[in-house]
Chain A
Amino acid sequence: MASPNRMKAVANKYKNELDFKNLMDTYQEQLYMLIRRMLVDHDDTNDVLQEVFIIVWENMEKFKGESGIYTWMYRIAVNHCLKFIEKKKKRTKWMFGDYNTVLLDKVKADSGFSEDKTLLLLQEAILKLPEKQRLVFQMRYYDEMPYKEMSEILETSEGALKASYHHAQKKIEEYVLTHAQLNT
């Protein structure tokens, strides 16, 4: 664990506009991808990403230095993403039905996916997973994050994360296998 002086030094370093810009430069793409994979929509991602950076700025003094700054920011982004999804689910329920179906429609409408059927099938399978399992799968599969780091971010044991990833993998493979056969 870092000493209190070190924590303060880290917090003070970024509490300066120029350094904060550097911090955003360093992590914006990784955070953008994390949020975008969860929310699919660019505008929603933009809103959440901005809010994450504002929270980071406002809570810089609270950063204890127990974990790396990226892990801390990643945790803020994950929590904010899950909250956003909860809100969206409630809002879309009455007007458009299931939120995951809305996300699926957005994926299908994205020209980047429509060109590659396998990629689209994988995204469909991922969107069928429950949010937390989806998050675990995406962190492990796309970011290749070690379970130890995932455990710090999600505050879940490594064993539970391994099990969750394994189940997600199985579900995805089953979905892909079934639907690939149907399509051929």
Chain B
Amino acid sequence: MENNEFLKNEALKKLPYKADKAYFNAMQDQVLHKIKLRDHEKNIFRNNFPFYIASGIAASLLFLLVFQWFTPKKEALPILSEVYFEDDEEIEYELSIDFSPENLGFDDAQMYLEINDVDEYEIYAEL
């Protein structure tokens, strides 16, 4: 077989792929049906768009509410000691507290010294 002659054979250009009129008619119907279906879906989405937005906002708010509901709140801590000073009273306090949990009778406790004001000290214990 000659190199260049092979592809010059016009008979090779005729492929046995056949699609008849009935197939094309059915294909066209399907295309038009799909187009209508997609247009319909787009319209539904467009019409319901405000509803989707409102639902989104409502769902977010609900989530925040539930999230807050289940978040553990900080409980008020017991005040162990309060020291108040009278105005103009010159008292020197030597604050000497052993903060170690064993000393306070707690196994696992944390102590806080909170200075709320110049002359007010509160000592908290967290169990």
Contact = CB atoms under 8 A, between A and B. Distances in A.
- A-side interface size class: 20 to 34
Nearest to A143: B13
Contacts of A173: 3-4, 6-7
Interface residues of B, number: 21
Contact of B19 (A29, A172, A177): A29
Nearest to B4: A173
Given A57-B35, A122-B12, A176 B28 contact: no
B16 interface: yes
Contacts of B40: none
A49 interface: yes
A4 interface: no
| Secondary structure class of chain A's binding surface, majority of residues | helix
A142 interface: yes
Interface in B25-78: 27-28, 30-32, 34-35, 38
A169 interface: yes
A36 B34 contact: no
Contacts of A172: 7
A66 interface: no
Nearest to A28: B24
A174 to B, nearest CB: 8
Contact of A112 (B4, B6, B16, B24): B16
Listed from nearest, the 7 A-B pairs whose CB atoms lie closest are A112-B16, A53-B31, A36-B17, A173-B3, A50-B31, A24-B28, A28-B24
